[in-house]
Amino acid sequence: MTDTRLEFRNVTKKFQDRLGSGRTIVAVEGVTLSVQDGEVVSLIGPSGCGKSTLLNMASGLSETSGGKVFVDDDEVVSVNEHVSFMLQKDLLLAWRTIRENVEFGLEIHGLPRDERRRRSDDWLARCKIADFADHYPHQLSGGMRQRAALARTLATDPHVLLLDEPFSALDAQTKMILQQDLARTLSEAGKTALFITHDLVEAVALSDRVLVMSQRPGKIIEEIIVDIPGRADPMERRKDPKIGPYVGQLMSLLHVGEAELEPV
Amino acid sequence: MTSAFTPSRIAASLGILVVFLAGWEWGPGALGIKTYLIPPLSSVAAGLMDLFRADNLWFHIWVTTLEVVAGFVMGSLLGVIGGYALGLSVTMEVVLSPYILALQIAPKVAFAPLFVLWFGFGLEPRILIAVLIVFFPVLINVMTAVRNIDPDLINLARSFKASRMQVFWKIQAPASMPPLFAGLRIGATLAVIGVAVGEFAGGNSGVGYLIVLTAGAAETPKVFAAIFVLTVIGMLAYWLVILAENRVLHYMPSREHKGF
């Protein structure tokens, strides 16, 4: 097994505009990137630059129009069980308890009951929601629900985690606590993650590297290596004086504040 | 969880019942309405007793209940199957929906005499009307529910390599349960209407038949009593659906508040 967990080689994605015209839209173009074992890499860019499209191709839910995606050196041609994703929506199933939700992927993978139970116990505890194992999702706060979603994502022991703005719907303080727990959990488990976010501080605080994408058609225009110690402790990292310059650099790359807000 | 059924609300609800019953008993007399048009409550009660004694009411209740249950079960099953088929397959929906819509818009009760002609004076024509009436709301609710499932939920299951069957049984079927039950509730009340119309159209059994029979003889108290019996059957059917719903959808938020 090599050190590269996830790799995009010259990946392009086009699709037909469904609204009337039927013209071809190039969502992402010529994206090449790789994520090493145990690395956390953030992907930032303007809205609609194709970040989520990249994740869909990495998970095998959507095909590339050109180029290839590899997970553990195997080309992704269909859904890949070594990849697990987590979205802004928790996607918890309302009719299942938190434990049953955490076991959802394991159940589909056909694991025996005892093994499922052992793993869900483990991840419920690590994600600090063991006390709510028998609750239904509607009984939990947004932050707790995202913890459950994280436990479900990790329970199948994926090699690569795809995180698509998982904390963007949470309030600022809950968000910081969950970032802290996520960072520690990823570090302890030695997991590899590709993290999409709009939050520049979040991107810097949580990652080893930050990749910046351009507007559509999305290309990677810059790679920033975050040279701040303690990736497993974003709370401390946030206080580091180097955060400011990194965020400033990202702001200028993304032209934040340079133009009027686009009409929606 | 606090209950919505506070003592004062229950008292208010019972108050309406008392006023209604009192109005029925003494209102027509006070307004000078002939008792053969609107008989007072007491003679309706007497009529009910009469139906039990002289007209073999238990037998007719049994027939009607059987038809309602058969019509409801078959209609719902067809509706559920059709709803999933149309919800899961765009082809099926595009090909079949105009005909299903036509079937829905056609006044099915108008078919009652025809069904009697075809199937005779037995239970079949009544059950058939109930099936046709129950079918549609269940179908529409299930179809819409399947269509409205968050595609990301399906993708989540797919990302774990779920098969189509697993996606159906673990996501689509449970996710469509709340609207399915809403459809069943409507279906339960409609089944009684379908059966009653079928009984009007022909035959010599069922509570609907008793209504035609007694109305023809101007035995108004008995007509009212039979309507009351039909209402009770409908309410029982509705209540059974609610009972099943509360068991199946126990995970839903704030079901504790709901009575009906």
Complex ipTM: 0.86
Residue A1 pLDDT class (50, 70, 90 cuts): very low
pLDDT of residue A77: 86
CB A127 within 8 A of CB A151: yes
Residue B254 pLDDT class (50, 70, 90 cuts): low
CB A61 within 8 A of CB A34: no
Answer yes or no: do A30 and A74 share one domain.
yes
- pLDDT surpassing 70 at residue A262: no
Q: Is residue A51 part of a domain?
A: yes
- pLDDT surpassing 60 at residue A263: no
Answer yes or no: do A125 and A76 share one domain.
no
Mean pLDDT of B74-85: 94
CA-CA distance, A157 to A115, in Å (whole number)? 13
How many beta carbons lie within 10 A of that of residue B12, not counting itself?
10
Q: Is residue A264 part of a domain?
A: no
Residue percentage of chain B with pLDDT more than 90: 58
Q: Which residues of B touch A108 (CB under 8 A)?
A: 157, 160-162, 166, 170
Beta bridge mates, A13? A28
Answer yes or no: do A137 and A240 share one domain.
no
Q: Which residues of B touch A91 (CB under 8 A)?
A: 150, 152-153, 156
pLDDT of residue B245: 92
pLDDT of residue B260: 46
Residue B257 pLDDT class (50, 70, 90 cuts): very low
- pLDDT surpassing 70 at residue B252: yes
Answer yes or no: do A97 and A130 share one domain.
yes
Inform me whether the C-beta atom of residue B148 falls under 8 Å from chain A C-beta atoms.
no
CA dihedral (A243, A246, A251, A254) in degrees, to 10, reads -140
Give the residue carrying structure tokens 């129009």: A65
CB A171 within 8 A of CB A179: no
Answer yes or no: do A175 and A254 share one domain.
yes
Inform me whether the C-beta atom of residue B150 falls under 8 Å from chain A C-beta atoms.
yes
Inform me whether the C-beta atom of residue B162 falls under 8 Å from chain A C-beta atoms.
yes
- pLDDT surpassing 60 at residue B1: no
Is A93's CB within 8 Å of B150's CB?
no
Is B174's CB within 8 Å of A109's CB?
no
Nearest CA in chain B to A79: B159
The DSSP secondary-structure symbol of A3 reads S
Structural domain span for residue A2: 1-82+160-258
Mean pLDDT of B136-151: 92
Q: Is residue A201 part of a domain?
A: yes
Model confidence pLDDT, tens digit, residues B96-128:
888 888 888 888 888 888 888 898 888 888 999
The sign of the CA dihedral B239, B244, B250, B252 is: negative
Phi first, then psi, for residue A110 (nearest 5°) are 80, 25
Closest alpha carbon to A188 in A228, A231, A150: A231
Q: Is residue A263 part of a domain?
A: no
Quick one: tokens of B154?
């399906």
What rounded mean pLDDT belongs to chain B? Answer: 89
CB A55 within 8 A of CB A211: no
What rounded mean pLDDT belongs to chain A? Answer: 88
**CATH number reported for the structural domain that contains residue A164 in this entry:** 3.40.50.300
Residue B255 pLDDT class (50, 70, 90 cuts): low
Mean pLDDT of A114-142: 92
Answer yes or no: do A177 and A66 share one domain.
yes
- pLDDT surpassing 90 at residue B27: no
Answer yes or no: do A166 and A243 share one domain.
yes
The total number of structural domains that make up chain A:
2
Quick one: tokens of A188?
């302890």
Inform me whether the C-beta atom of residue B171 falls under 8 Å from chain A C-beta atoms.
yes
Answer yes or no: do A75 and A198 share one domain.
yes
- Which H or E run contains A131? none
Answer yes or no: do A127 and A245 share one domain.
no
Most confident of the following: A73-77, A81-85, B84-88, B90-94:
B84-88
Count the residues in chain B.
260
pLDDT of residue A2: 53
pLDDT of residue A192: 93
CB B57 within 8 A of CB B210: yes
Quick one: tokens of B185?
């509730």
Give the minimum alpha-carbon distance from A223 to chain B in angstroms, rounded to a whole number. Answer: 29
Inform me whether the C-beta atom of residue A150 falls under 8 Å from chain B C-beta atoms.
no
Mean pLDDT of A85-89: 89
Answer yes or no: do A75 and A95 share one domain.
no
Q: Which residues of A touch B175 (CB under 8 A)?
A: 93-95
- Poorest-confidence range of A13-17, A118-122, A149-153, A158-162? A13-17
Mean pLDDT of A174-189: 90
Give residues with Cβ within 8 angstroms of A132, minimum separation 6: A98, A139, A140, A144, A148
- pLDDT surpassing 60 at residue A194: yes
pLDDT of residue B100: 84
Last residue of a domain, one of A142, A157, A172: A157
Inform me whether the C-beta atom of residue B97 falls under 8 Å from chain A C-beta atoms.
no
Is A61's CB within 8 Å of B155's CB?
yes
Answer yes or no: do A182 and A226 share one domain.
yes
Is A91's CB within 8 Å of B171's CB?
no
Quick one: tokens of A220?
């990677």
Chain A residues 24-43 within an 8 A CB cutoff of chain B: none
Inform me whether the C-beta atom of residue B165 falls under 8 Å from chain A C-beta atoms.
no
Residue A259 pLDDT class (50, 70, 90 cuts): low
- pLDDT surpassing 70 at residue A260: no
pLDDT of residue B67: 94
Is B161's CB within 8 Å of A81's CB?
yes
pLDDT of residue B170: 94
Answer yes or no: do A227 and A239 share one domain.
yes
Closest alpha carbon to B237 in B205, B178, B200, B195: B195
CA angle B152, A262, A41 (to 5 degrees): 50
CA-CA distance, B202 to B120, in Å (whole number)? 8
**Coil vs helix vs strand at B95:** helix
- pLDDT surpassing 80 at residue B253: no
Instruction: Name the CATH superfamily housing domain B36-257.
Output: MetI-like (1.10.3720.10)
Last residue of a domain, one of A157, A174, A203: A157
Model confidence pLDDT, tens digit, residues B184-221:
999 999 999 999 999 998 888 889 999 999 998 888 99
- Taking one residue from A and the other from B, the number of pairs with CB-CB distance under 8 angstroms is 54
CA-CA distance, B204 to B213, in Å (whole number)? 9
* CA-to-CA dists, residue B105 to A196, B116, B136, B159, angstroms: 50, 21, 10, 42
- pLDDT surpassing 70 at residue A245: yes
Model confidence pLDDT, tens digit, residues A19-77:
666 788 888 888 899 999 999 999 998 877 788 888 889 888 888 888 899 998 888 88
Residue B175 pLDDT class (50, 70, 90 cuts): very high
The sign of the CA dihedral A206, A210, A211, A212 is: positive
Is A91's CB within 8 Å of B251's CB?
no
- pLDDT surpassing 80 at residue A95: yes
Give the minimum alpha-carbon distance from B84 to chain A in angstroms, rounded to a whole number. Answer: 19
